[in-house]
Amino acid sequence: MINYMSYEMIKSRGATQAIRFISRPSGGEIYTVLTLPVDNFQPSQLALICPPIFGEYSNSYAILRELAQQLSAHGIGVLRFDYVGVGESYGDPDTFSMSSAVADISFLASWLMERFPAATKVTPIGMRLGCRLMLDALVNPIRSGSPRIAMPILWDPVLDTRQYILGELRNTLAGAMVIYRSVVASREDIVRETLESGFCEREGYRLNQIDGYPITREFLREAWVGSSNNTWSFLEPVVVLVTVSAGNAERQHKQLASMLLEMKFHAVQDVPYWNLTPTYSQIRENLFGVTQRCMEQCD
Amino acid sequence: MRLEREIVKFPGPAGVNLVGVLWLPAPNGPKRKVLFILSHGGLSHKLGVSRVYYHLAQFFTARGCTVFRFDPAGMGDSDGVIPTQVRQDLFESIESGVFKDSYCGAFEFLATRFADYRWILSGVCGGAISSLLAGVKSPYPIAGYALISCPVVLDGARFDYSRREPTPIVLKNMRLYLSKLVNPVAIWRFVTFQSDYAWIWSNARVLLLRGKDKLPVKLRLPQKTGKAGSDKPSKSKPALGLNPIFVEAAHEAMQKSKVLLIYGNNDGFLWEFNDMYAKAHLSASQRDKVLRIIIHANHMFTWQEWQQQAFELIDGWLESDVTPAKH
């Protein structure tokens, strides 16, 4: 079980943080933050964190940093990064798409394994839609037989991108109500018009956006194709951690079981993180603890 | 046009390492000796909510400016820790200048490379007040402050927030629902638990409380207090008030530099600026000189259309109002 470490303990034990842009194979650069134990620049275990997107990315940033520091204080190297179109990473176009995010995850997993030849395991840890992107990215290394990809860990997974986008567009329309004082479009209108023409516009405002991030035709095409029918049965078991605040773990278990045929499910009592702006108590002792225990068990 | 991006580490308060991203204009593009400095945005890090600072950097580097965004101590990728506290107290600490020392570190670093530039401090919400409070204490000249959604009140868990939302904003919000009182679809949503009851109640409550405040004293219900003879204190809290630290800093900034304050008209902070600060501390002409309003914009300027309008305002203000820094 992880012993939660205070910031002072982490600093005394030591963790180094290297921040750099890494060139993307398809152009542009990925903003990466590599956190390593200060006394071991070639750790035997690594983690690749695949963050949420859009507003959830901002809300989660502090907790992901905290997770990286906690894991590195326990001897695990951690790579965090930003998707193009969401964080500091950039490409052409500079908008988010699932294919670019999946390609970057694949690339970074390979980069980690090359950079750290002594590492026996790279554990991908996904959060929210980052889980879906991570699972899609793991297809290639697993099919090519990479033994170094450890059992993925999924925090509060969002796997059905279609439902996710429709849910998030509800907030967009709530914001639009304040402007237009009436309903000017439905979520389905936004999706349809964007798929047809690349945008959905009403009186000078683009409605094909979530939390201010543009939703492109490409992203919608990717999200709508086979969104709810994906199963990842080719994978080894995955670990699913669900943050339980309102006792809905059973329902989530059922929903995920149809898509993740091999799943080790854990309902973790802890404060949610993706839907709360950070107040800088970014400790999630239970989530962190279960995560590290799962990583140790698959080592 | 390829921009130059550089990740920078520099020392902050108490030796912590702070992280920033420096964007330089393209070598073959326009050049202006203007440096924008931004840090956090509210409770988000150097990207700002909805990537607003990233978009600001894109806008102004394309126009030849240099933009530096950094994470203050405890935020984003910078070292340090922000103590655990409730949200209102965290806001209070920001509005009292908790990040001033982080800015000092940034200024020291930037002075080694950009001392001959016009420095413009900017930010949204908490980033705006942090920039203002740090800038007026800067040993280096600040040419201007372009502050978006800058809070003028001092927050804190000890204050009463029940009446915070300005009446015009609440009325605007409630009109949305009143217009649907006889709409069958809206009624169905309301009775089938699809409406945002918390939002409706929070707005209605403000109106009810404001109405209660206007009642003659003898018609008001007695205030809840502790039982007679008990030591329980009254539950009433003081109302939110104007932040004296902001008042002093704004005055100093307006004396020494150029100031631009941008608000969205869907942001209650605009009403607080006008009713609590401008009425008491600015003449009409002073207010008209510094204040710009973006129609429909919300507090954090989430939508890119609002961001674009704000950037264009700032660009025009740069050209017309901001003079070169004197050394």
Q: What is the pLDDT along chain A (299 residues), one digit of tens a residue?
A: 344 556 566 555 567 899 999 999 999 999 999 999 988 888 999 999 999 999 999 999 999 999 999 999 999 999 999 999 999 999 989 999 999 999 999 999 999 999 999 999 999 999 999 999 999 998 767 666 677 888 899 999 999 999 999 999 999 998 898 888 888 999 999 999 999 999 999 999 999 999 999 999 999 999 987 555 566 766 667 888 888 765 678 888 888 888 888 888 999 988 888 888 776 667 788 899 999 999 988 65
Question: Which run of H or of E encompasses A80?
Answer: strand A77-81
Residues of B in contact with A205 (CB under 8 A): 296, 303, 305
Neighbours of B198 (CB within 10 A): 8
Tokens for B84? Answer: 């655990």
- Sorted by sequence, the CB contacts under 8 Å of residue B233 that are 6+ apart come out as B226
HSE, side-chain direction, 13 A CA sphere, residue A289: 14
| A203 in B contact zone (CB under 8 Å) | no
Interchain proximity B81–A278, CB inside 8 Å:
no
Question: Which run of H or of E encompasses A286?
Answer: helix A285-297
Tokens for A126? Answer: 């996904």
Q: Which of B7, B49, B80 sits opposite A20 (nearest CB)?
A: B7
Interchain proximity A209–B85, CB inside 8 Å:
no
pLDDT of residue A8: 60
Interchain proximity A205–B305, CB inside 8 Å:
yes
Residues of B in contact with A214 (CB under 8 A): 304
Hey, of B4, B45, B174, which one would you mutate to test binding to chain A, going by the most A CBs within 10 A of its CB?
B45
Å between A55 CA and nearest CA of chain B: 7
Å between B228 CA and nearest CA of chain A: 39
The CA distance from B170 to A174, in Å, is: 15
pLDDT of residue B3: 64
| B18 in A contact zone (CB under 8 Å) | no
Å between B234 CA and nearest CA of chain A: 29
pTM value?
0.90
Hey, of B3, B22, B24, B50, which one would you mutate to test binding to chain A, going by the most A CBs within 10 A of its CB?
B50
Asked whether the predicted pLDDT for residue B311 surpasses 90, the reply is yes
Q: Where are the alpha helices (DSSP H) in chain B?
A: 52-61, 87-95, 100-114, 126-135, 167-178, 184-191, 197-214, 244-256, 268-272, 279-281, 284-290, 304-321
The model's pLDDT over B195-221, given as tens digits with 9 standing for 90+, comes to: 777 777 777 888 788 777 777 765 655
Å between B216 CA and nearest CA of chain A: 34
| A7 in B contact zone (CB under 8 Å) | yes
Interchain proximity B45–A179, CB inside 8 Å:
no
Across B283-297, average pLDDT: 97
Å between A209 CA and nearest CA of chain B: 8
- Give B273's DSSP letter: I
Provide the pLDDT confidence category of residue B234 given band limits of 50, 70 and 90.
very low
Question: What is the chain A residue with the closest CA to B71?
Answer: A62
HSE, side-chain direction, 13 A CA sphere, residue B178: 8
Interchain proximity A280–B54, CB inside 8 Å:
no
Across B135-156, average pLDDT: 97
| A254 in B contact zone (CB under 8 Å) | no
- Sorted by sequence, the CB contacts under 8 Å of residue B239 that are 6+ apart come out as B159, B160, B163
Q: How far is CA B88 from the centre of its chain?
A: 14
pLDDT of residue A226: 55
The model's pLDDT over B72-121, given as tens digits with 9 standing for 90+, comes to: 999 999 999 888 778 899 999 999 999 999 999 999 999 999 999 999 99
Question: Which run of H or of E encompasses A290?
Answer: helix A285-297
Å between B52 CA and nearest CA of chain A: 9
- Sorted by sequence, the CB contacts under 8 Å of residue A52 that are 6+ apart come out as A59, A60, A127, A128, A129, A130, A158, A274
The model's pLDDT over A69-106, given as tens digits with 9 standing for 90+, comes to: 999 999 999 999 999 999 999 998 999 999 999 999 99
Interchain proximity A174–B196, CB inside 8 Å:
yes
Tokens for B314? Answer: 């700032």
What is the ipTM score, two decimals? 0.93
Asked whether the predicted pLDDT for residue B56 surpasses 70, the reply is yes
Average per-residue pLDDT for chain B: 88
Å between B13 CA and nearest CA of chain A: 15
Hey, of B44, B85, B265, B267, which one would you mutate to test binding to chain A, going by the most A CBs within 10 A of its CB?
B44
Interchain proximity A212–B172, CB inside 8 Å:
no
Q: Which of B43, B81, B266 sits opposite A7 (nearest CB)?
A: B81
Average per-residue pLDDT for chain A: 87
| A204 in B contact zone (CB under 8 Å) | yes
